[in-house]
Amino acid sequence: MLLVLFVFAPSVTFAQKALYPNFPETFESPDTAAKGHYKKADVKLKSGDWNLDQAILGALANHDRFNPSGKQSIRMQQNRSKSAYLEMNFDVNEGASKITVAYASYYKDEPCVWRLEYSLDQGLSWIQAGQDIKTESKELKTAEFNVELKGKVRFRINKLGLGNGKTDPSIKNGRLSIDDFAIYKN
């Protein structure tokens, strides 16, 4: 005799919120010639205009870290006392529920620390989302930030300016690779 027992348990399914058009930002275009210096400048990317301050478009194989199907990513400067920024110069209009960011240490560099920040006033002031991220891996990892933001919002990566590890070996402040920046609507 075969006895079949069915157990019914309530299940909760959460619908994934929609990804904004032109995201994730993969930093694949324009090519590195458009931003090959660390000096602060705006760059037109597929998702919109971004400001790169102490950051460049990097494409060195086995040095810059980018997704397997990609050819370039953002590289943020090392050994600075001042923060480096990868900052949106535009708002997304329907808030945000989640942001994901692929990140890794550049080449053989020391670890570094960065944070995600958001602005509800077109970049006049910034608020930290989540905790600081310490980057120690040479392999891309994905940080996920769950937020509940309404209305217009913009984001930036703030790579903390921890100081110069060349003059003080106790300071760990290597370069940072950023790729696949995704924003989900709220």
Residues 36-89: pLDDT tens digits?
Answer: 999 999 999 999 999 999 999 999 988 999 988 899 999 999 999 999 999 999
Residue 164 lies in a domain: yes
Residues 120-157: pLDDT tens digits?
Answer: 999 999 999 999 999 999 999 999 999 999 999 999 99
Residue 2 lies in a domain: no
Place of tokens 């943020």: 76
Residue 57 lies in a domain: yes
Place of tokens 């920040």: 117
**Of 90, 97, 100, 99, nearest to 152 (Cα)?**
90
Residue 67 lies in a domain: yes
Overall size of the chain counted in residues: 186
The set of residues, in sequence order, having a beta carbon less than 8 Å from that of 15 and lying 6+ positions away, is none
Q: What is the pLDDT of residue 76?
A: 98
Residue 41 lies in a domain: yes
Give the integer Cα–Cα distance in Å for 73 and 71.
Answer: 7
Tokens standing for residue 169: 């070996």
Residue 115 lies in a domain: yes
Domain range for 43: 32-97+105-184
How many domains, the chain?
1
Residue 6 lies in a domain: no
Output the pTM of the full model.
0.90
CATH number of the domain to which 41 belongs: 2.60.120.260
